[in-house]
């Protein structure tokens, strides 16, 4: 059987769908299931059982011989959370326990790292192990993810096969519950489409640039559709060699203006965009440019093309947001 932590969340629940679509149903969902908004992410999926995340280590001690793979996707992902202790508990200490369990019981592991580990990008975006100790993330979330990557690379004893994946800016279905931390695509759609109700006035609001090197809306990010994420994960589950830390983006940075225009195009409306100040609490920790170097993943055989920003946004909006559907 396969274990997925964070299985009720955004990427974790999409991974459950990917596995179900491949005929895999012996899946154990690990998460905090107390949030009722997450229930629709997993209620119609095929799985074996649910395990509360704080009961997981007792559970694994009894069931480890039946586990063929663990995907550790669960994390505290709020980049506006500045209490380091919170991030250390879930993103560092919990992850260490998952790693140690996989090592002890000989279980292959794929875990979620983050592009937030790269900080302001001064050292580039190469997924080179030699650079990990030099990176300077801008917030506790990025710090906690990088501290785990650093710890992993020091381990002499490892799971039989492992991958740490540095997710870049992921968007797509099943992120409805994320509130402020949902993707810009999700928020832009709800602002642009008056049919969604609420206070929408049909105007997309983007952060004004506070960096003279970038015009308003010209901030660049590597946006990746969640279906590409789970396709790569599925490939690696079957690849089972070349362990290490790898980037997972498209390799092509796009502007927020490109994103907003693609959202309007997907709902057949003219673009209406307004710039607002970046919130003070994240302004000095804001990444103005991210772009994954993808040579490393390509070098081990992953050759599938990624969704373009426009094609991913169109599918997300037309296939999921307009119909309020789950993947």
Structure confidence by residue, pLDDT tens digits, 151-163? 999 999 999 999 9
CA distance 162 to 240: 8
State the DSSP H helix or E strand holding residue 261, giving kind and residue range, or none if neither: helix 256-266
Across 135-141, average pLDDT: 92
Q: Enumerate the active-site residues.
A: 141, 178
Across 58-83, average pLDDT: 87
Structure confidence by residue, pLDDT tens digits, 260-273? 999 999 999 999 99
Across 122-144, average pLDDT: 95
pTM comes to 0.95
DSSP string, 182-236: S-HHHHHHHHH-GGG-TT--S-EEEEPP-STTS-TT--EE-EEEHHHHHHHHHHH
Name the architecture of domain 2-171+223-251+290-306: 3-Layer(aba) Sandwich (3.40)
User: Does residue 195 surpass a pLDDT of 90?
Assistant: no
Position 194 scores a pLDDT of 67
In whole numbers, what is the pLDDT of the chain averaged over residues?
94
Position 81 scores a pLDDT of 59
- Do 70 and 108 meet the contact criterion of CB atoms below 8 Å apart? yes
45-49, 221-225, 278-282: which has the minimum mean pLDDT?
A: 278-282
CA-CA-CA-CA torsion sign (9, 11, 17, 23):
negative
Q: How confident is the model at residue 281 (pLDDT cuts 50, 70, 90)?
A: confident
Position 79 scores a pLDDT of 61
**Sequence-distant contacts of 40-49: CB under 8 A, at least 24 apart:** 40/176, 40/326, 41/8, 41/9, 41/10, 41/13, 41/174, 41/177, 41/326, 42/7, 42/8, 42/13, 42/16, 44/326, 45/13, 45/16, 45/17, 45/20, 46/20, 47/7, 47/16, 48/1
Domain coordinates of the chain in residue numbers? 2-171+223-251+290-306
Q: How confident is the model at residue 80 (pLDDT cuts 50, 70, 90)?
A: low
User: From residue 259, how far is each of 72, 103, 182, 221, 264 by CA, in Å?
Assistant: 29, 41, 14, 10, 9
User: Does residue 197 surpass a pLDDT of 70?
Assistant: no
Position 85 scores a pLDDT of 74
The residue ranking higher by pLDDT, 281 or 194, is 281
* Residue 294 tokens, joined: 């993808």
User: Does residue 196 surpass a pLDDT of 60?
Assistant: no
Position 142 scores a pLDDT of 92
Across 58-74, average pLDDT: 97
76-80, 88-92, 300-304: which has the minimum mean pLDDT?
A: 76-80
* Residue 325 tokens, joined: 């559907």
User: Does residue 199 surpass a pLDDT of 60?
Assistant: no
């Amino acid at each position: 059987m396969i274990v997925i932590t964070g299985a009720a969340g955004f990427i974790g629940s999409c991974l459950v769908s990917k596995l179900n679509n491949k005929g895999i149903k012996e899946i154990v969902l690990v998460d905090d299931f107390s949030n009722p908004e997450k229930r629709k992410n997993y209620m119609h999926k095929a799985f074996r059982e649910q395990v509360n995340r704080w009961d997981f280590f007792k559970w694994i001690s009894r069931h480890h011989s039946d586990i063929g793979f663990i995907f550790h996707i669960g994390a505290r992902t709020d980049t506006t959370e500045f209490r380091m202790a919170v991030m250390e508990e879930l993103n560092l200490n919990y992850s260490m326990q998952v790693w140690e369990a996989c090592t002890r019981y000989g279980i292959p592991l794929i875990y979620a790292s983050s592009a937030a580990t790269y900080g302001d990008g001064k050292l580039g975006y190469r997924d080179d192990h030699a650079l990990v100790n030099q990176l300077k993330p801008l917030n506790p979330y990025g710090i906690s993810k990088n501290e785990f990557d650093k710890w992993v690379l020091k381990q002499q004893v490892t799971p039989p096969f492992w991958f740490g994946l540095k997710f870049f800016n992921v968007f797509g279905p099943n992120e409805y519950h994320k509130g402020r931390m949902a993707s810009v695509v999700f928020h832009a759609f709800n602002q642009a489409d008056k049919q969604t109700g609420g206070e929408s006035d049909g105007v997309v609001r983007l952060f004004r640039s506070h960096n003279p090197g970038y015009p308003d809306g010209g901030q660049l990010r590597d946006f990746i559709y969640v279906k590409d994420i789970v396709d790569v994960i599925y490939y690696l589950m079957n690849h089972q060699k070349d362990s290490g830390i790898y980037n997972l983006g498209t390799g092509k940075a796009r502007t927020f203006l490109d994103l907003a225009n693609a959202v309007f195009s997907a709902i057949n409306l003219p673009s209406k965009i307004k710039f607002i100040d970046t919130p003070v609490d994240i302004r000095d920790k804001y990444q103005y440019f991210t772009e994954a170097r993808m040579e490393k993943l390509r070098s081990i055989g992953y050759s599938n093309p990624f969704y373009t920003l426009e094609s991913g946004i169109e599918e997300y909006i037309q296939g999921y947001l307009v119909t309020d559907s789950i993947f």
